[in-house]
Amino acid sequence: MNTQKQRIKYKGFTLLEMLVVLLIISVLILLFVPNLSKHKEGVDKKGNEAIVKIVETQIDLYTMEKNQSPTVEQLLKEEYITQEQYDKYQASK
């Protein structure tokens, strides 16, 4: 009778239950981490495409305002684009 009270008194998770939970968490992490890196690559690609479109739009805007085609350096100098946009545009070419 005394041993039954002790078992009831010490309720909690067993080592086996903890290992099963850790195994499940590990498997989920292994499934999701590669997918996250693939999504990051896709986001970077779309971001670079967006930068190219921004620069092309600014070229059109500059052409409409000044009746001449600018270089990308002119757009940067006259602050139509930022240094970061310039760098990413040059890297995408």
Per-residue pLDDT of the chain (93 residues; tens, 9 = 90+): 555 555 566 677 889 999 999 999 999 999 888 888 788 888 888 999 999 999 999 999 999 999 999 999 999 999 999 999 999 999 887
> In the prediction, which pLDDT does 7 show?
56
Is residue 10 a part of any domain in this protein? no
Output the CA–CA distances (angstroms, integers) from residue 55 to 19, 41, 83, in the order listed.
Answer: 54, 21, 12
> In the prediction, which pLDDT does 56 show?
93
- Identify the domain containing residue 76 by its residue range: 37-92
Is residue 77 a part of any domain in this protein? yes
Output the CA–CA distances (angstroms, integers) from residue 87 to 58, 78, 80, 82, 83, in the order listed.
Answer: 15, 16, 14, 9, 6
Going by the DSSP 8-state scheme, the letter that residue 7 receives in this structure is H
Is residue 20 a part of any domain in this protein? no
Is residue 31 a part of any domain in this protein? no
Determine the length of the chain.
93
> In the prediction, which pLDDT does 39 show?
85
Is residue 83 a part of any domain in this protein? yes
3-state percent helix, strand, coil for the chain, nearest multiple of 5: 80, 0, 20
Is residue 23 a part of any domain in this protein? no
Is residue 87 a part of any domain in this protein? yes
Question: How many structural domains compose the chain?
Answer: 1
Among candidate residues 59, 60, 41, 52, the one with its CA nearest the CA of residue 89: 52
> In the prediction, which pLDDT does 38 show?
81
Is residue 64 a part of any domain in this protein? yes
Tokens representing residue 40 in the block = 């990051």
